[in-house]
């Protein structure tokens, strides 16, 4: 029986590896075929050449003067209200690391594509040729007049924390780091529903977090704000558990030191297995596996544990191995396994809601509202251990998140514009459907060429 299981696993691994290679192979064919994934097209009417006198000189002078007198009118006369900059320095790209701003550009273009198709948001990729956080901050601030929001992407830690905190504090438009807040929001949604299936509460669950990078630090902050007791959390970095005796972190990693003081009150020392012992939930966002998490470590967790292993492209342990070791519910970051925890379920809708009310920031509470909307949508569709959260195909979930985010922004008084729930829902649905219909129309008319098989 053991040999049969091993053979099955080996066969499955080979299939997965072949499957995992195909997107990369297709990407090398289709990126040069299209030479980019987004472009600028007009959204105004051009009935004849006389219309250019309206859209450009001399007519354009009138809205310019109106904005000069009343700066907030920029949201009325321009596309600032629906425009987001996707900004990176290329220092921590996907699983590729520090590959620089030019090599990061395809990722930022892809992000902009998802913004448009899933959220109806006009997003533009901007890759900065600097690793200096102060220069990065200064440059992003210079861009504020043109954009309604900023999406930070693929920036190495620890500077990503300071960049985000500084820009959120000093800019008057939403600034968000998807690797932090986006990952946290979608993870929280999955965790809410996993615990619901087990009739457990956030406030009482014992949680081990493997990895102490930007994603897991922000997840810890957000789940604590959502109701998790920090005393029930143990976090592990590459040197072992975080606890108040880790004086090596006081100056070098203030965010980790914050977790040392908030979590692990019993000062449990050791590595991953010591942290996992007796835990009900594992949230692993560390390094690509497999074999980062061992089957025997899952066996020493509480009965029927919840296991989130979200490293890409390979999870810290294969899902079937986690299940064989006793995991009751398993989630990963991959689309070819059940329960994919993917940022694309969050950022398009969260920005949609923030932009629609012209929010000045995206608060943690707005992210939690989005997570709860994601979780509720899945509950209405029917929860199961193989279906914790929606997928990108469930486009109707995005308007629901946008509504929740917009209403929370209004409640917290960070919105410039007050809309009703129905107005928010109507606008979000129209914007998202417009994007989907536009792509289909352009493909049908062969303006977007389909690749040949």
Instruction: Please tell me the distance from the alpha carbon of residue 328 to that of residue 310, in angstroms, as a whole number.
Output: 16
Q: What is residue 452's DSSP assignment?
A: P
**Which is catalytic among the residues 111, 206, 385, 408?**
111
Cβ atoms 260, 244 nearer than 8 A: yes
Instruction: Please tell me the distance from the alpha carbon of residue 178 to that of residue 367, in angstroms, as a whole number.
Output: 11
Pairing of strands 233-237, 240-241: antiparallel
Paired tokens of 333: 């970051």
Cβ atoms 290, 12 nearer than 8 A: no
Cβ atoms 84, 148 nearer than 8 A: yes
Between the alpha carbon of residue 96 and those of residues 32, 100, 136, 324, 409, the distances in Å are 20, 10, 21, 31, 35
Instruction: Please tell me the distance from the alpha carbon of residue 247 to that of residue 336, in angstroms, as a whole number.
Output: 41
DSSP 65-93: HHHHH-GGGHHHHSGGGGEEEEEE-SSSB
DSSP 172-205: SS-EEEIIIIIHHHHHHHHHHHHHHHTT--GGG-
Instruction: Please tell me the distance from the alpha carbon of residue 63 to that of residue 76, in angstroms, as a whole number.
Output: 9
**Which is catalytic among the residues 56, 231, 269, 299?**
56
Instruction: Please tell me the distance from the alpha carbon of residue 393 to that of residue 407, in angstroms, as a whole number.
Output: 24
Q: Which residue has the tokens 């062969």?
A: 446
Residue 199 contacts by C-beta under 8 Å, 6 or more apart in sequence?
A: none
Strand order in the sheet with 175-177: 122-127, 83-88, 149-152, 175-177
- Please give the backbone phi and psi of residue 392, each rounded to the nearest 5 degrees, phi first: -60, -25
Instruction: Please tell me the distance from the alpha carbon of residue 295 to that of residue 307, in angstroms, as a whole number.
Output: 11
Is 117 an annotated catalytic residue?
no
| CB neighbours of residue 126 within 10 Å | 20
Cβ atoms 268, 296 nearer than 8 A: no
Cβ atoms 391, 337 nearer than 8 A: no
Is 68 an annotated catalytic residue?
no
Q: Which residue has the tokens 């920029």?
A: 74
Q: From its phi and psi, is residue 240 left (phi > 0), alpha (psi between -120 and 50) or beta?
A: left
Helices (H), strands (E): how many in the chain?
17, 10
The residues annotated as belonging to the active site are: 56, 111
């Amino acid at each position: 029986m053991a040999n049969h299981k091993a053979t099955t696993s080996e066969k499955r691994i080979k299939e997965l590896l072949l499957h995992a290679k195909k997107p990369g192979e297709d990407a090398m064919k289709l990126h040069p075929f299209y030479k980019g994934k987004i472009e600028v097209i007009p959204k105004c009417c051009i009935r004849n050449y006389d219309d250019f006198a309206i859209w450009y000189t001399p007519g354009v002078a009138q809205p310019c003067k109106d904005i000069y007198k009343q700066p907030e009118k920029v949201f009325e006369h321009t596309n600032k209200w629906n425009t987001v900059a996707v900004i990176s320095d290329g220092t921590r790209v996907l699983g590729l690391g520090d590959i620089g701003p030019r090599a990061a550009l395809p990722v930022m273009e892809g992000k902009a594509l998802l913004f448009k198709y899933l959220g109806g948001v006009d997003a533009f990729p901007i890759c900065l040729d600097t690793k200096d956080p102060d220069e990065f901050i200064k440059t992003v601030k210079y861009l504020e007049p043109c954009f309604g929001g900023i999406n930070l992407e693929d920036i190495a830690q620890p500077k990503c924390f300071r960049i985000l905190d500084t820009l959120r504090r000093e800019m008057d438009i939403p600034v968000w780091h998807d690797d932090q807040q986006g990952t946290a929001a979608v993870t929280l949604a999955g965790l809410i529903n996993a615990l619901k299936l087990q009739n457990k509460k956030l406030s009482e669950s014992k949680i081990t977090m493997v990895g102490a990078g930007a994603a897991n630090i922000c997840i810890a902050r957000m789940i604590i704000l959502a109701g998790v007791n920090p005393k029930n959390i143990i976090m592990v970095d590459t040197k072992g558990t975080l606890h108040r005796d880790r004086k090596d972190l006081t100056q070098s990693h203030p965010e980790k030191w914050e977790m040392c003081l908030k979590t692990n009150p019993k000062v449990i020392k050791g590595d991953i297995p010591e942290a996992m012992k007796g835990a009900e939930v594992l949230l692993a966002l560390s390094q690509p596996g497999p074999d980062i998490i061992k089957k025997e470590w899952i066996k020493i967790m509480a009965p029927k544990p919840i296991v989130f292993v979200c490293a890409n492209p390979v999870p810290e342990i294969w899902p079937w191995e986690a299940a064989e070791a006793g995991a009751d519910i398993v989630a990963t970051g991959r689309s070819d396994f059940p329960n994919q925890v993917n940022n694309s379920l969050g950022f398009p809708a969260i920005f949609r809601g923030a932009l629609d009310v012209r929010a000045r920031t995206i608060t943690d509470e707005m992210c939690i509202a989005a997570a709860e909307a994601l979780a509720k949508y899945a509950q209405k569709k029917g929860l199961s251990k193989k279906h914790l959260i929606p997928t990108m195909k469930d486009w109707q979930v995005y308007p629901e998140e946008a509504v929740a985010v917009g209403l929370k922004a209004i409640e917290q008084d960070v919105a410039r514009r007050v809309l009703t729930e129905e107005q928010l829902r109507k606008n979000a649905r129209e914007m998202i459907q417009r994007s989907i219909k536009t792509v289909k129309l352009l493909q049908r008319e062969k303006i977007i060429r389909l690749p040949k098989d």
